[in-house]
Chains A and B, each alone.
Chain A
């Protein structure tokens, strides 16, 4: 379980996150929704230990991320809002590097590489340098990097942005497989159909606070909306905005 307890964060005196508290249960996919600037990326960066919260705590299972960042990083797989590839390395070299940095070696390393190569259909790309890869190819490699050490916790920041249909399907299939195996997955997205299809739970952020937390169905019911998109608009922007933006029949 990922437990976020009362985290707050300010940048240059401006509050970005205010007293955020939520739990992410194991074996569930949770999506994090919010308008641009709502604080999603900052929240994800604090969970991964890249940023420190001004107050509050984040636990990955028993590990306090701030107290034991190295331990937390061994438990995490992260796909950031950009892929962070090394363009002068081949896919094999790139994934080997990250597997080794996560402590894998020998037979375990070879098995891990073969596993991500097969699952994410990377055979054709395996010995190519990543320079010039398409968005979908970059995302697959980036996802493979996050998964190569089989982490129990997976954080993805807008993973489907710019993906073609096949790549997006592959990503969804992988996430569903990981959920079935008990992984805790948190991803941010702006694509409502994808959120509705994948998510067991949805967190909605606005102005650095959680304004909605529940299953997609419970959020729709809570706001009296027709679908998840309307629920999101109602919770993130307020009723007036929803009324103004509804398309007349």
Chain B
């Protein structure tokens, strides 16, 4: 008897249409993908604004209590970093809660102790749980140190002793970080987060189309159709990847749209990403989206239940973040060409380059994308085998 070919493009098109309709009509999965895709750029914009504020608005607000005991102290403490406000009274804890970074209280016997060369007491109140506490305390200590040195020097001179004798060396601290290098720290996180978005955006869909279908027994109905298993897995992979890929594309677009709101210029970063950059980044992520989708489907098909699949994939989505962190910490030279053939790392490196306006090498991009697609093909074949397992039908 003549056997008809097992593969037909029309069948594949019908199956793909079904998977796409099911995927894009799943409101829960869609909402999750959109929320996460928008949340990450919003958080990044917020943290950038906060970061810049931390490093540019560095003036410390100091409340000075008991200034009557040392009338000249206020003027002496004032500096570029310190804004001193004298208060006749106030409770230090409330003043700290009310917006002051520090509260300095001058002791009752300050003037008499000072005149008689007994070290007069100053009380510094600081809320060490506040983010600005360290910086504020450093500002005040620096200013008080300068004053202390000046007064001690004057006293020594008055006694005919060269003040330099007490200063064997002078330590000058120079912060060599530039706004740009501090900003690069922020941008370095972006590729990893974009890749994480891809994992998160496709998670719900991949569980639903595999473990979910198995639990609802609609997978069994599909397996009763004259379709080769690879077609089933390939159609599911394309549908799941579409959700993950568009999620990450949405994140990239949102990120670029939010860039004008971020004080990037203050960090020395020029906005290098344009609409063409968004498209390029999206294209670079496409093979990875397919790989993530098929791995998620395979894992979900192997799981015991829908809930088990959700748990397994939630753990899986930490994998890229952990891997990229480990590689970063181990100081591996990721700019080596070899890494452009390693899925995940390659995409991270390309995105990093594009975000700061550097070019990526087209031949290496093509080679790296191909290296990402090879495991996709293998995983589809593995998935087709998995569909033949009796355990899949809960028969065993």
Q: Shortest beta-carbon distance, B394 to chain A, in Å? A: 11
Contacts of B4 in A (CB 8 A): 70-71, 74, 103
Contacts of A49 in B (CB 8 A): 224
Q: How does the 8 Å CB contact mask read for B213-232 relative to A, with 1 for contact and 0 for none?
A: 00011111111111110000
Please count how many residues in chain B sit with their CB below 8 Å of the partner chain's CB atoms. Answer: 33
Cα–Cα, bound, A50→B13 (Å)? 23
Q: Shortest beta-carbon distance, B364 to chain A, in Å? A: 41
**Contact among B10, B22, B220, B225 with A98 in the assembled complex (CB-CB below 8 Å):** B225
Q: Would you call B221 and A84 a contact (CB within 8 A)?
A: yes
Q: How does the 8 Å CB contact mask read for A74-109 relative to B, with 1 for contact and 0 for none?
A: 101010111111101100010011101111010000
Contacts of B222 in A (CB 8 A): 84
Q: Would you call B10 and A105 a contact (CB within 8 A)?
A: yes
Q: Would you call B6 and A89 a contact (CB within 8 A)?
A: no
Q: Would you call A62 and B1 a contact (CB within 8 A)?
A: yes
A-B contact count (CB 8 A): 92
Please count how many residues in chain A sit with their CB below 8 Å of the partner chain's CB atoms. Answer: 37
Answer whether residue B337 sits at the interface, using C-beta atoms and an 8 A cutoff.
no
Answer whether residue B329 sits at the interface, using C-beta atoms and an 8 A cutoff.
no
Cα–Cα, bound, A52→B217 (Å)? 18
Q: Would you call B21 and A93 a contact (CB within 8 A)?
A: yes
- With A50-B224, A100-B10, A101-B225 as given contacts, are A80 and B217 in contact (CB-CB < 8 Å)? yes
Contacts of B221 in A (CB 8 A): 78, 80, 84, 145
**Contact among A82, A88, A102 with B217 in the assembled complex (CB-CB below 8 Å):** A82
**Contact among A45, A48, A89, A103 with B18 in the assembled complex (CB-CB below 8 Å):** A89
Q: Would you call A74 and B226 a contact (CB within 8 A)?
A: yes
**Contact among A45, A101, A145 with B226 in the assembled complex (CB-CB below 8 Å):** A101
Q: Shortest beta-carbon distance, A61 to chain B, in Å? A: 9
- With A68-B3, A70-B4 as given contacts, are A86 and B218 in contact (CB-CB < 8 Å)? yes
Q: Shortest beta-carbon distance, B13 to chain A, in Å? A: 8
- With A89-B22, A100-B11, A102-B225 as given contacts, are A50 and B393 in contact (CB-CB < 8 Å)? yes
**Contact among B11, B17, B21, B220 with A88 in the assembled complex (CB-CB below 8 Å):** B21
Answer whether residue B25 sits at the interface, using C-beta atoms and an 8 A cutoff.
yes
Cα–Cα, bound, A97→B221 (Å)? 12
What are 12 pairs between A and B in contact, CB < 8 Å?
A50-B220, A62-B1, A68-B3, A71-B4, A83-B217, A84-B217, A84-B222, A85-B218, A100-B13, A100-B14, A103-B8, A103-B226
